[in-house]
Amino acid sequence: MQRRYYGTLAAVAALSLAATLSGCGAGTGSGEVTLKLVAADYGSNASNTSQKYWDELVAAFRKKHPDIAVEVDVRSWKDVDRDVAEMVAKDEAPDLAQIGAYADFAAEDKLYPTSELLPIPTQANFLQRLNQAGEVDRVQYGMPFAASTRLLFFNEELFEKAGLEPPKTWQGIVTAAAKLKAQGVKYPFALPLGTEESQAETMMWMLSGGGGYQDAVNTGYDINSAANIQTFTWLKDKLVTPGLTGPIDPGQLDRQAAFDAFTKGEVGMLNGHPTLMEAAEKAGVKFGMVPLPSPDGEATPSMGVADWMMAFKQNGHREEIGEFLKFVYEDQNVLDFSDAYDILPVTVTASTAMEGDSKHKKLRPFLRELDNSELYPVGKTSWARVSKSVKANIGKAVTPDGDPEAVLNGIAKEAADAEAAE
C-alpha cells in the first residue's frame, strides 16, 4: 500500500511548502460565526456515540479559532441521510453534513466544490481512489470522511473442529460450508441479502465473480452482465438451494442479524467489515479473515465503502467552513476517529501512519484491500434509485424458484431508467 503512495506523498510535501487556497486564512475578522454540522453516528450505543468525538474536536478547534463556533447534531444512520435531504428541501441546509451520499446535492448546485474550501495539500492528501469517487462531472464535491473494506470472516474454532482451512476458491466455500453444516453449524455461510445493506453483499459477490455494478471503464451500469448472472446463479444453485446459508431465506436476512449471529458463534463464514472485528473480539469469538475467494482463486477487487463530508452554499460561510475542515482532516483527528470506530482513514498520511503502527495490526488487511477496492458509483445521481432497487429485489434471485437473470434484468432496466433521468 505504501509503495503506491510515494508519489502522492511527495506531491503533498511539495505543495505544502507553497500552495494555499485563497480565502482560507486563520479567522475571518468579521465577528463570531456559528457553523452547523449534521453528522452520522458510528457508535453502537450511548457510551461510544460519535457525539463525544465531535464535541472534543470542536472544543479543540474553538481554542484555535475563538471566532468560529461549531454546533454538531449527530443522528442515527437510519435517519441522517433522509433528515439532511428534508432540511435542504426546506431551504434549511446545514453548513456541513457528514452522511452517505452527496451527488444529488451537487447536481442541484447546492454544494461548494472542494477546491473552494481546502488548500491544495489537504485536497491532494485524500486517497486517490476516494478523491475520484467524490467527483461529479470531474469536479470534487464529496470529501471522503470514513472508509472501510470487506473481508471474509471465518470462525476459527468451528473451522478447527471441522478440520478446515480458509477457502481460496468458490468451490472451497462450498466444501467448507457442507462440512460445517454436517457439524451442526446454524449458518455455514451467512448470506445477508435483506433490505438493510444487500447492495453491499451484492457488490462483493459481483466483484468476486469478475463483474460489478458498472462496465469495465465505469461509464455506465452493467448489472445484468453475463458475469453477474453467473455469480447469482452459482449462489442460488451451490449455496442457497443445498441449505448452506442457514435457516433464514437470504432475502430476509439483514446484515446486522448476520453479524449478531457471528458474535454468538452460530456462523461459520460471512463477509464483514472492521467493526465486526471489534464486536467478535468483545464476544470472545476467535476468527480469521481472508479476501473473499474467487472462482479460480485469483485475486479480484474488493468492495470499498466511503462516507462523505459536504459543505452547503446556502449560508455562505465558505471561509469558516474551510478553516474547520482543514482541522478535521489533520492527521491526529483522522486517526482519533479511526481508532474510536475501527474505520479506515481517508488520507495518505494518516493511512501510512496507521499501517506503520503495531497497535493497528489487525486493520492492516483492510487497509491493503482498500488499495485494490472498487466503490459504489456514488457520483451518479441515479445510484440512490439503483441501490434501492437492489435492496428490494436481489434476494429474489436466490430463492428456490428464483430466476437470477430475470431479477438482474429488472434491476438493470430500473438503472437505465434512472440514468436516463439524470
CA distance 397 to 273: 24
pLDDT at 12 over 50: no
pLDDT at 18 over 70: no
Give the domain CATH number at 83.
3.40.190.10
Q: What is the mean pLDDT of the chain?
A: 90
* Predicted pLDDT of residue 144: 96
Tell me the CA distances in angstroms from 311 to 23, 42, 128, 322, one per residue in order: 15, 20, 20, 9
300 is a domain residue: no
Q: Do 283 and 163 fall into the same domain?
A: yes
Q: Do 61 and 122 fall into the same domain?
A: yes
Condensed to tens digits (0 to 9), the pLDDT of residues 325-371 reads: 999 999 999 999 998 888 999 999 999 999 999 988 888 899 988 87
Q: Do 68 and 171 fall into the same domain?
A: no
Cβ neighbours around 55 below 10 Å, total? 14
* Predicted pLDDT of residue 47: 84
Q: Which domain holds residue 116?
A: 2-147+305-375
* Predicted pLDDT of residue 421: 83
Give residue 70's identity as a one-letter amino acid code. V
* Predicted pLDDT of residue 122: 96
Q: Do 283 and 369 fall into the same domain?
A: no
Condensed to tens digits (0 to 9), the pLDDT of residues 107-139 reads: 999 999 999 999 999 999 999 889 889 999 899
Backbone φ and ψ for 118, nearest 5 degrees, come out as -115, 145
- At residue 14 the predicted structure's pLDDT band, cuts being 50, 70 and 90, is very low
**Which of 375, 395, 411 marks a domain boundary?**
375
Global model pTM greater than 0.95: no
193-209: b (≥16 Cβ within 10 Å) or e: bbbbbbbbbbbbbbbbb
299 is a domain residue: no
Q: Do 240 and 201 fall into the same domain?
A: yes
Give how many domains the chain has, as a whole number. 2
C-alpha angle 76/277/275, rounded to 5°?
15
**Which of 360, 375, 390 marks a domain boundary?**
375
* Predicted pLDDT of residue 27: 38
- At residue 21 the predicted structure's pLDDT band, cuts being 50, 70 and 90, is very low
Q: Do 159 and 134 fall into the same domain?
A: no
pLDDT at 294 over 70: yes
Nearest to 39 by CA among 80, 79, 69: 80
Condensed to tens digits (0 to 9), the pLDDT of residues 138-197 reads: 999 999 999 999 999 999 999 999 999 999 999 999 999 999 999 999 999 999 999 888
Query: Ramachandran region of residue 245, left (φ > 0), alpha (ψ -120 to 50) or beta?
Result: alpha
Q: Do 155 and 237 fall into the same domain?
A: yes
Q: Do 194 and 72 fall into the same domain?
A: no
CA distance 179 to 190: 15
pLDDT at 15 over 60: no
Q: Do 405 and 263 fall into the same domain?
A: yes
The dihedral formed by the CA atoms of 320, 145, 19 and 372, expressed in degrees to the nearest 10? -170
DSSP H helices, 359-403, are 364-370, 383-393
Average pLDDT of the segment spanning 311-323: 97
296 is a domain residue: no
Task: Please give the residue that has the higher pLDDT: either 279 or 232.
Answer: 232
221 is a domain residue: yes
Q: Do 397 and 353 fall into the same domain?
A: no
298 is a domain residue: no
- At residue 6 the predicted structure's pLDDT band, cuts being 50, 70 and 90, is very low
Q: Do 188 and 250 fall into the same domain?
A: yes
Q: Do 317 and 405 fall into the same domain?
A: no
297 is a domain residue: no
54 is a domain residue: yes
Condensed to tens digits (0 to 9), the pLDDT of residues 238-258 reads: 999 999 999 999 999 999 999
